[in-house]
A and B are shown apart, each in its own frame.
Chain A
Amino acid sequence: MALSMAYGTIATDDAILHVGASGGEVAVPFVGRGFPDEACALPAAPLPMPTQMIEADAGLLHRLLRRLRGGGAVRPSMDVGA
């Protein structure tokens, strides 16, 4: 979702159907709506949903081969013995 959660605001073009007690309908932008004061609009209660890493940087075979070659150990990026 392209939501700017980092600053606590939500900016999308979507609208929430607001049904008042009179049955009237108002399409309101979903910004800064309180809960439960605004009874029929979805509560504005953002909850971050961090994107997860679900793709391996390489396949199982590649990782196995890499482990076999390097023993899985982290190698220094420079020659520390120099």
Chain B
Amino acid sequence: MIVTSLLCGLGAFILFLEFGEATGLTWIDVFRAVLILISTLWLAWGATLAFVGMTSRARPPEGVEDAPIRGRTCVLMPVYNENPEESFSRVAAMEASLREIGDPAEIHFAILSDTRDEGIAAQERAVFRRMVEECDGVGRFFYRRREKNTGKKAGNIEDFITRSGAAYDYAVILDADSLMEGKTILTMIRRMEAEPQLGLLQTLPKIIRAESHFGRAMQFSASFFSPVFARGLAMVQGRTGPFWGHNAIINVRAFAQSCGLPELKGAPPFGGHVMSHDYVEAALLARNGWIVRLDDDLEGSFEEGPENIVDHAKRDRRWCQGNLQHLRIISAPGLKPWSRFVFAQGVMAFIAPLFWMGFIAASIAAPLLVTPPDYFPVPGWPFPQFPQSAASMAISLAIGIFGLLFLPKLLIMARAILSGEAKRFGGPGRVFLSTLGELLLSSLTAPVLMMFTIRSVLEVLMRRDGGWPTNNRGDGILQWPEAFAASWWIIVTGCGGLFAAWFLTPELFLWLLPVGVPMILAPALLRWGSLPSLGKLMITPAEQSPQRVIQLYDAVLARWGVDAQSSIPVVPLRLPEKDGVKV
């Protein structure tokens, strides 16, 4: 895969050099060719992951599905200023899901609160009491709140392990918006027990309950495209797999032995506590000889996503700082080469837009930096000597780059239609239109997201700490003033870029419109993306036939009188009773 990506990058590099040579090669052409090389390399890596994912199948371990469970597990939900009714109702739903299928394991639930807001903390205590009473959870449900949230989420988990870790063999780590089927949790425990060297098992969470145009596009993408990319990732990373910080199970002793994180020297953003701790923990487990595996065949793992581009960008800002901080860790002693590669990949995910933007800026400014070609090289000779046509090379390059962007998704769509998988997503017609819609929307939002990413990277490089903002998990509708306030600078950049292209390189003007126009329309995109989607596209299996834990979650929310803000109808339940307590 690395070789294929390198070949793609080199191909683009050489093609661009030849294109430049047609009008006389200059240093700016070489500079742009290098930028194209790096950008294409990154695109090709993503595309090859998809191809590997499409051509391989998960092989779940055999003979472990019904094995008896010996170990004790604690399901951990770290919370930080979240809505306790929404978060805790997920815990209640998971517990009910486990109870429905018999729950042959000893499983406890711990709410690990890092909430700073005293009002929310009081609500947490009230909702917890109610949950314990309703679920008959005395002795199985725990709540503790730290006075200081040292180390953020990683510190929260570490605090649990250092206090109570020896009581458990495994811990399922969640986010406040995580939801997992009881059956999935049991399967994860069984797989851990079947392979004692397994230190961490990661599932692929699917996004649910999205309502906005942007949120539903992300949700569709996560359900339809992501499993293929994740399959590729699982194949490539093998025993040095990824950890995404939630919807995963750990071997508690392996984690304790390997994952005590220090504070990095210096101040944030590059120093201080490790922000993207999950990547580091996966690397440290692998360093200690533990297996870290992504089992992408496991269904019944869910999370919620941002409902608008601004919330997405805020989350990306945090991830950006965390990933760039990995530059401090990438050369840590003893890490597996693949772990170092993952760190580099994480950094590249955020700096790649800089290369694209650099390429565009260099292309617009080229006439200012180099002498334009002389079409009348012979003095006195009246006829110009035009260079040989480079149009075919430029078009080949453009087709190649767009191919790397779009081809994987189109192939995934074709495979789903041919294999019948499309039925789960509303049928072939809807899958076709949803894929085209997703490609269109992602193309329109790409320049805006690129600008947000570039700003994040520059802020980190200027050593500005982004802090640890709470995730906004509300309806997320952006009003026009909010959309303008968040994106005025993108409009200015887009107008400036097109204005400069019009005067400096008018031949590029049309080519730059797909980038410049979405930037100028950024407020409209932000606003429209955040509005509720009323369309019939972007359907996911979780919407078509909600899995049991989603139904249970809706039932708990309805019982607690919480507005579910979901398009999924509440299904009337007939649940079993345990010790006289209704589930």
Q: Mark A residues whose CB is within 8 Å of B.
A: 1-3, 5, 10, 12-17, 19-21, 23, 25, 30, 35-36, 39-56, 59-60, 63
Contact = CB atoms under 8 A, between A and B. Distances in A.
B256 A48 contact: yes
B211 interface: no
Contact of A54 (B142, B143, B164, B329): B329
B129 A3 contact: no
28 contacts: A1-B155, A1-B159, A1-B162, A10-B162, A17-B128, A19-B129, A19-B132, A30-B144, A35-B167, A41-B142, A42-B144, A43-B164, A43-B167, A46-B163, A47-B162, A47-B253, A48-B162, A48-B256, A49-B162, A49-B260, A50-B257, A51-B261, A52-B258, A53-B262, A54-B329, A55-B332, A56-B333, A63-B331
A2 B146 CA distance: 12
A51 B262 CA distance: 6
A46 B159 CA distance: 10
Interface stretch (B133-141, B295-303, B364-372): B133-141
Given A55-B332, A56-B331, 12 more contacts: A14-B147, A17-B128, A23-B129, A23-B133, A40-B142, A42-B142, A43-B164, A45-B165, A47-B166, A52-B258, A54-B332, A60-B331
B329 A14 contact: no
Contact of B259 (A39, A40, A52, A55): A52
A19 B138 contact: yes
Contacts of A49: 158, 161-162, 165, 256-257, 259-260
Contacts of A3: 159, 162-163
B284 interface: yes
Nearest to A2: B150
Contacts of A16: 142-144
B111 to A, nearest CB: 9
Secondary structure at chain A's binding surface: helix, strand, loop or mixed? loop
A19 B139 CA distance: 9
B260 A39 contact: no
A82 B509 CA distance: 76
B110 interface: yes
Nearest to A47: B165
A47 B329 CA distance: 25
A22 to B, nearest CB: 10
Nearest to B334: A53
Contacts of A43: 164, 167
Nearest to A3: B162
Contacts of B110: 42
A63 B328 CA distance: 14
A21 B333 CA distance: 50
Given A1-B159, A42-B160, A14 B145 contact: yes
A55 B265 CA distance: 9
Nearest to B130: A23
Contact of B147 (A10, A13, A59): A13
Contacts of B128: 17, 19
Interface in B294-340: 328-333
Contacts of B162: 1, 3, 5, 10, 46-49
B125 A17 contact: yes
B260 A52 contact: yes
A3 to B, nearest CB: 5
Nearest to B166: A45
Q: Which 7 A-B pairs have the closest CB atoms?
A: A47-B165, A39-B139, A45-B167, A45-B166, A43-B167, A49-B260, A56-B331
Nearest to A19: B132
A23 B129 CA distance: 7
Contact of A42 (B129, B163, B331, B332): B163
B280 interface: yes
A47 to B, nearest CB: 3
A49 to B, nearest CB: 4
A54 B332 CA distance: 5
A3 B150 CA distance: 12
Interface string B238-282: 000000000000001100111111101100000000100000100
Contacts of A12: 146-147
Contacts of B261: 51-52, 54
Nearest to A30: B163
Contact of B163 (A10, A20, A21, A23): A10
B532 interface: no
Nearest to A16: B144
A46 B331 contact: no
Contacts of B260: 49-52
A19 B88 CA distance: 16
A21 to B, nearest CB: 6
A25 B132 contact: no
B163 A40 contact: no
Contacts of A21: 138
B196 to A, nearest CB: 17
Given A23-B133, A46-B166, A59-B331, A54 B262 contact: yes
